[in-house]
Amino acid sequence: MKKLIVLLPLFFFLSSRAQVNVKAIDKYIEQALKDWNVPGMAVGIVKDGEIVLSKGYGVKEIGGKEKVDDNTQFAIASNSKAFVASCIARLVEEGKLSWKDKVRDYLPYFNLYGNEYVSAEATVEDLLCHRVGLGTFSGDVIWYKSEKSPEEIIKRAAYVPEAFSFRDGYGYTNLMFIAAGEVIRSVTGNSWEKYVEEHFLNPLGMVNTIISVRDLSDNAATPHKPTLANGTVPGPWASWDNSSAAGGIISSSTDMSKWMMMNLNAGEWDGRQYIDKEQQNLLWTPHNNNKLSERSKELGWGLMDYHGNLVASHGGGYDGMYSRVMMVPDINLGVVVLTNTMEGISTPLTYYIVNQYLQKDMRDWSVEYLERARSRNSHKEDVEERMTKRVTGTKPTIDPQLFAGTYNDPMYGDIVVIEDSEGFRMTFADAPALSATLSHWHYDTYEIKWDEEHAWFDFGTVSFELNNNLDVEGIEFDVPNGDIFFHELHPKRKGK
């Protein structure tokens, strides 16, 4: 009987671990890859301080033969925000700043929508809580493919409109994480990239993790974009160097597994304390009391109660790549999914894997999400609507030569329209990658034909605005997409 009593706990322990069939999860991922027509991805699962799966699936580039492995590099995009938050937490622990410090103590030029009170009172904590009053993704057009410095981006953010009252709502803002990166620079005297490398990436042994496309290895996945006409097509890596604090990290499933194990172990790993336990707990504590359905995004993480368990998660969207990280500290579980396409496969896969360990809600998440994705494409519908409303056989209401000129938007800068042999050319200050040819669409509206392929948008138009005297006053954009809001720009003709 004593032997039986001694053996029972071990038996039950082994039985509970055996309930999760990692090989079955592996097969499920393989099938999902085919169902979603995703070229390649990498998945990492950590449980109880061990990597139970870190594996590549598919190929680095569609039509190619090079397979993805556990060290293949993918952009993690906004999953970088958790690294920024951890850097801030470590600096707080070191006594070099406080969460309640005013942003202006470090960035004297910091200004939000012309409101002096808000600009002066915004704290370091506010930067990471998405509660400063800016709308979700508002102002991303400032930094996207721009050569502006982080400081110049933050200065331009002063012209991004207020969406809600200070600390009275939720608006996911990349701009404020760029500002947080500059706070780290101000405190340490060096870039946030150098700080995170020295205090997290290098000591954790994240040897395949970088923060610039300039440092990509030969073992890097190729970004892909789903298109209406040509299916899934490969594209180039885009530089996010100026916005790296919002989403510039590039990593692998094995490296991200190391990162998750450190976070799940209260900021300590392999005998080294990376973040003080108190600060780690603070990162996973709600700071925004506004209603956000079941989620509460805070300090670089999205927090929610899921089947009675705390879940810390975040997604990432980069030009041609999506990712997701999900951790359940109550059961010491972490999952990361990195993909080389802009298909929403990462979210259902993380939920499926987490539910296998929780033994809850064990439905076919991949199939359900795929059905939703196939039935909903709002931007496709937006473009089709523009197509059907085009009025053929029209011409500009004034001499088209009068459209040429320099236009300025305080939030962005100069946009130049010049006439050439093929019609008009449009160039953006500090963003040569956004150059385009303008082709007559109807009346005073021209179609934007981008010089380069862009992941987030393709079709777009620009209209020349006239006053009652038929003088050209400005231009207005219509570029349907879910993130880079050109319609926030209202450039006015210089000299008018």
For 80-139, the pLDDT digits (tens) are: 999 999 999 999 999 999 999 999 999 999 999 999 999 999 999 999 999 999 999 999
* Cα distance between residue 43 and residue 256, in whole Å: 10
280 pLDDT more than 50: yes
How many residues are there in the chain?
496
Examine the pLDDT at 145 and tell me if it is beyond 70.
Answer: yes
Per-residue pLDDT for 3 more than 50?
no
With 50 as the cut, is the pLDDT of residue 436 above it? yes
Residue 295: band (very low, low, confident or very high) from pLDDT cuts 50, 70, 90? very low
Distance from C-alpha of 371 to C-alpha of 306, rounded to nearest angstrom = 23
Average pLDDT over residues 252-272: 94
Question: Can you give the pLDDT at residue 298?
Answer: 54
pLDDT at site 365: 87
pLDDT at residue 5 above 70?
Answer: no
pLDDT tens-digit series, residues 148-180: 999 999 999 999 999 999 999 999 999 999 999
Per-residue confidence (pLDDT) for residue 296, from 0 to 100: 47
pLDDT exceeds 50 at position 253: yes
- Locate 437 and state its tokens: 């040819």
Q: Please answer whether residues 106 and 322 qualify as being in contact, where contact means their C-beta atoms are separated by less than 8 angstroms.
A: no
Tens digits of per-residue pLDDT, 175-192? 999 999 999 999 999 999
- H/E element holding 326? strand 321-328
Q: How confident is the model at residue 339 (pLDDT cuts 50, 70, 90)?
A: very high
pLDDT the model gives residue 286:
62
Rg of the Cα atoms in the chain: 24
Say how far apart CA 249 and CA 271 lie, in whole Å: 25
Q: What is the percent of the chain with per-residue pLDDT over 70, rounded to a whole number?
A: 92
pLDDT band at 18 (very low <50, low <70, confident <90, very high): very low
Residue 334 has pLDDT above 70, yes or no: yes
- What would the mean pLDDT of 63-72 be, rounded to a whole number? 96
Contact 447, 475 (CB under 8 A): no
Alpha-carbon dihedral 62, 68, 71, 74, rounded to 10 degrees = 30
For residue 308, name the pLDDT band (cuts at 50, 70, 90).
confident
CA distances from 455 to 100, 140, 173, 481, 484 (A): 38, 14, 20, 10, 10
pLDDT of residue 496: 59
pLDDT at 20: 87
The predicted pLDDT at position 293 comes to 43
Residue keyed to tokens 């956000």: 292
pLDDT at 6 exceeding the cut of 60: no
Beta bridge partners of 445: 442, 463
- Please compute the mean of the pLDDT values over residues 398-406 and round it to a whole number: 95
pLDDT at 230: 77
User: CB count, 10 Å around CB of 213?
Assistant: 17
Q: Using the predicted structure, report yes or no on whether residue 14 has a pLDDT greater than 60.
A: no
Query: What is the predicted pLDDT for the residue at 7?
Result: 40
Contact between 140 and 484 (Cβ < 8 Å): yes
Sign of CA dihedral 68, 264, 93, 88: positive
Mean pLDDT of the chain: 90
Q: What residues contact residue 130 under an 8 Å CB cut-off, 6+ apart?
A: 136, 170, 171, 172, 173, 176, 288, 297
Residue 160: DSSP 8-state:
S
**pLDDT value of residue 229:** 74
**Beta bridge pairs of residue 406:** 416
- pLDDT of 305 reads 77
* Cα–Cα distance for residue pair 255/258, rounded to 1 Å: 5
For the whole model, what pTM was predicted?
0.90
Long-range contacts of range 112-118, CB-CB < 8 Å, 24 or more positions apart?
112/157, 112/158, 112/160, 112/162, 112/166, 113/158, 113/159, 113/160, 113/161, 113/162, 114/158, 115/162, 115/166, 117/166, 118/166
**Residues 6 or more apart in contact with residue 287 via CB below 8 angstroms:** 125, 129, 131, 298, 299
Helix (H, G, I), strand (E, B) or coil at 277: helix
Can you tell me the distance from the alpha carbon of 456 to that of 225, in angstroms, rounded to the nearest whole number?
Answer: 9
Tell me: the pLDDT tens digits for 199-239? Answer: 999 999 999 999 999 999 999 999 999 887 778 899 999 99
pLDDT confidence band for 423 (50 / 70 / 90): confident
Mean pLDDT for 484-495 is 94
pLDDT of residue 144: 96
DSSP-assigned beta bridge partners for residue 322: 317
Question: What does the DSSP assignment read for 371-429?
Answer: HHHHH--HHHHHHHHHHHT--TT---SS-GGGG-EEEEETTTEEEEEEEETTEEEEEET
For residue 486, pLDDT beyond 60: yes
pLDDT of residue 121: 97
Looking at residue 443, its pLDDT comes to 96
